[in-house]
Amino acid sequence: MSIRPILFTATLGILTAAAVSLNAADLHVAPNGNDTWPCKLAAPNADGSDGPPATVGVDAEASSLAYIAEFIDYYFSTRCGVKPKVIEVSAALKKPGPKIIVCSTRTARQLGVALPSKPLEHDGFHLLSKRDAKGSVVVYCVGNNARGMKQAIYRLIHESSLSGKTLSLSHPLTITQVPRITNRASIHGGSWELGDKRANQKFVARYWDEEKAKAWVRLHDYFGFNAIEVGIQFDRTGSSVRHKKHLKFAIRSFDEQRRIGGKNLVFLWGAACWEGNSPKYRICRASEDGRDLLSEIYRYYAKHMAKRVDAFVTHWADPGGCEGTDCDCSVRTPQELHMEMLDIFRQYNPDVQSLFSLWDWLPTVAGVPREKRPSHLWCWKNTRGIEDVLDSGILADDVGIMVGDPNGFSEAFCRAIVEHNRTLGIWTWYLADNEIRLGLHVHWRQVADYFRNQAGKDYAKHIKWHQIEVNRHGDWNTINTMVAGAVMMDPSCNPEPYARAFCSGIFGQQNADTLLSVLDAIGQTRCLHHRAPGIGRFHDLAGWGSKDPNADIEIVKKALANLDKVTLEEGYVPKLPYAEFIFDPQVMLADLRKHLNIIILHNEAKLGLLSIITSEEFKSLPDDRRKARIKSLAKELAPNFDLDGIGICPEWYVWNVLMKGKGQLPQ
């Protein structure tokens, strides 16, 4: 079939062009339409007697979710130069010509719409285009609930293409989406402030103004996440600037997420607090001071968060645990503290749910002695395994268990949680983003593979909560998050169109393939854990690169040449919703160039280092002298990883370790 442009009008409708054959059924909408016309033409005729209609229908059931109407108004006004008119379905159906109808499954059946046989669950949706009795095309955005209706509208936009003020969409549409995971949360964390703090602040959301922070929440709703998670660190003095900014960011994010119909999850440190910017680890509950401080922490959390969140997660290691040596704190202690916290939270919000995190808390290898684990990680006495949680009888039946990946993740744990009829949650760290090294990580392929692989597991259908990290806010790493939102909804989907949509959504369709190739060059030379056998997580986090620095340099130089081909149209408005409040395309292109140059500097320094340490003279040195020599060379060769205020990049970690003489080379 031929595909003709859709033009959006000031009162919005959809129309089939009279110029195409009946089976060509293309969709059209025009900015100068009129509901009183016969609506047989894609554009107004010369005498003003016919042209497109102008209607969008919103089911009355969803009227309470004003965000649906708000989003429709925002998107079509800003992207297509129109002011859509939103009316109820009953009124919309009386209008002549094609329409967009947003409604529930119940209303769709009442209208006589033949829906696909696959039942909807959670915030699932159908996106359908059909002809009515008069031959006009009607697009139905049918949701299992109000959130499903939103997702159907989002998918309608994703399936279209935007060029200037023209949105193109082909008919027919028959898409049914049932999310595999009930609650899909993006973890809005905060990168550590390394290097130039002024440069870092553009990546750390607690420094953003209100408009940008709220736009970030709405953007992730568009990506497919129906929940957000924010971690709160208790500051006993309550005086640190960092703490105040982070608390303000969390409250602002939760309030906006609730306003648009999403869910909120807060991540809490159960046995640690922060004195200023320094964490105080291992509070002992057995001491009077410890009990008083923990009570103060839990009431502080509940006061600020309980009414804003649907659930909270308690975290007991890294940091956490107990400072005491002769006290009776044990594996039972964090479970008892969780129940105390749940009781306090429910005094403020009786409906709040909770999950108990196992991150780095249980031994991943049987028989690992406690004294051989870092003290800030596995630090609860008498811990044997997950049976100490599942069979303790301490946690209430409605308390879920959250498993962290990679630290302490075990498929056996997941199965045991399901077998005990507990809510299963999973959260990732270092999969889509990096908490502590402010470098660009091109991980969207491995994110897609992670969820595709997970979908085949026997416990997958029981996952009720799944969180994925978002730390380096508002930059290129967001491409990983956009793909994550899509594959969490449907792990079988092809992730590449979503990665391309991120590039085209900010820089225009003409630049999408070029930018994807540039990003892939960074993936090939920095993020190898997913791509090359034998490359471990340390390589990936540290950006060490491949075994051939010269090849990496050539890949990056080619990418820099391709980056020169990217051109931005004057006055270009991005298709990606809310991008204009978050992303500056010119700044992003400049940052991308800096990232590429940093990789070249890193590999040039790496060549100098390797040429020396692979020599026979170096190999003949004793171990202690080799280590000292590497430390000395690192100080001499380490490049500048803070080019023009971009912030510390992952390669910095390798050289920092080498300069401090704390470890071996990654390979």
Say whether pLDDT at 1 is over 50.
Answer: no
| Top-confidence residue, 538 or 618 | 618
Query: Can you give the pLDDT at residue 514?
Result: 97
pLDDT in tens, 591-608: 899 999 999 999 999 999
Query: Can you give the pLDDT at residue 119?
Result: 86
- Does residue 502 sit within a domain? no
Query: Can you give the pLDDT at residue 351?
Result: 94
Query: Can you give the pLDDT at residue 26?
Result: 32
Q: Of 113, 144, 177, which one is at a domain's C-terminal end? A: 177
- Does residue 47 sit within a domain? yes
How would DSSP label each residue in 228-281? EEEEE--BSS---HHHHHHHHHHHHHHHHHHHTT-EEEEEEESS-EEETTEEE-
Whether residues 357 and 462 fall in one domain: yes
- Does residue 519 sit within a domain? no
Contact between 503 and 479 (Cβ < 8 Å): yes
Q: Of 454, 475, 493, which one is at a domain's C-terminal end? A: 493
- Does residue 639 sit within a domain? yes
Query: Can you give the pLDDT at residue 199?
Result: 56
Whether residues 170 and 189 fall in one domain: no
pLDDT in tens, 234-281: 776 655 666 777 788 889 999 999 888 889 999 998 877 766 555 555
Band (pLDDT 50/70/90 cuts) for residue 25 is very low
- Lowest mean pLDDT of 47-51, 153-157, 368-372, 653-657, name the range: 368-372
Query: Can you give the pLDDT at residue 61?
Result: 42
Place of tokens 């990665």: 499
DSSP 8-state class, residue 84: P
CATH code for the domain in which residue 138 is found: 3.30.379.10
pLDDT in tens, 202-232: 777 777 889 998 999 999 999 999 999 998 8
Whether residues 294 and 433 fall in one domain: yes
- Helix, strand, coil % over all residues of the chain, rounded to 5: 40, 15, 45
Whether residues 298 and 324 fall in one domain: yes
- Pairing between β-strand 463-470 and β-strand 166-168 as defined by DSSP bridges: unpaired
Average pLDDT over every residue of 155-166: 76
Whether residues 171 and 269 fall in one domain: no
Secondary structure (3-state) at 186: strand
Whether residues 26 and 168 fall in one domain: yes
Query: Can you give the pLDDT at residue 108?
Result: 86
Whether residues 441 and 562 fall in one domain: no
Whether residues 654 and 630 fall in one domain: yes
Whether residues 343 and 469 fall in one domain: yes
- How many CB atoms neighbour CB 435 within 10 A? 16
Say whether pLDDT at 587 is over 80.
Answer: yes
pLDDT in tens, 178-191: 888 888 998 876 55
Q: Of 177, 193, 208, which one is at a domain's C-terminal end? A: 177
Query: Which of 206, 650, 192, 132 shows the shortest CA–CA distance to 439?
Result: 650
- Does residue 140 sit within a domain? yes
Range of the domain at 462: 183-493
Q: Estimate to the nearest angstrom the gap between the alpha carbon of 634 and the chain centroid.
A: 35
Average pLDDT over every residue of 138-142: 86
Whether residues 77 and 9 fall in one domain: yes
- Does residue 531 sit within a domain? yes
- Does residue 150 sit within a domain? yes
Within 8 A by CB and 6+ apart from 506, the residues are 574, 576, 579, 583, 585, 588
Say whether pLDDT at 487 is over 90.
Answer: yes
Query: Can you give the pLDDT at residue 91?
Result: 72
Which of 105-109, 118-122, 336-340, 587-591 has the largest mean confidence?
A: 336-340
Q: Where are the alpha helices (DSSP H) in 314-421?
A: 333-348, 387-390, 411-419
Amino acid at 661: G
What's the domain count of the chain?
Answer: 3
Query: Can you give the pLDDT at residue 280?
Result: 57
Average pLDDT over every residue of 643-658: 77
Which of 27-36, 43-52, 66-75, 197-206 has the largest mean confidence?
A: 66-75
This prediction has a pTM of 0.87
pLDDT in tens, 324-338: 777 888 889 999 999
From CA 664, how far away is CA 667, in angstroms rounded? 8
Query: Can you give the pLDDT at residue 496?
Result: 96
Query: Which of 448, 344, 366, 467 shows the shortest CA–CA distance to 412?
Result: 366
- Does residue 308 sit within a domain? yes
Whether residues 108 and 202 fall in one domain: no
Say whether pLDDT at 582 is over 70.
Answer: yes
Say whether pLDDT at 2 is over 80.
Answer: no
Query: Can you give the pLDDT at residue 220?
Result: 94
- % residues pLDDT > 70 (the chain): 77
Whether residues 319 and 450 fall in one domain: yes
CATH code for the domain in which residue 254 is found: 3.20.20.80
Burial class (CB in 10 A: 0-12, 13-18, 19+), 349: middle
The token pair at 393 is 């009888």
In the sheet with 161-163, reading across from the earlier edge strand, the strands are 5-7, 166-168, 161-163
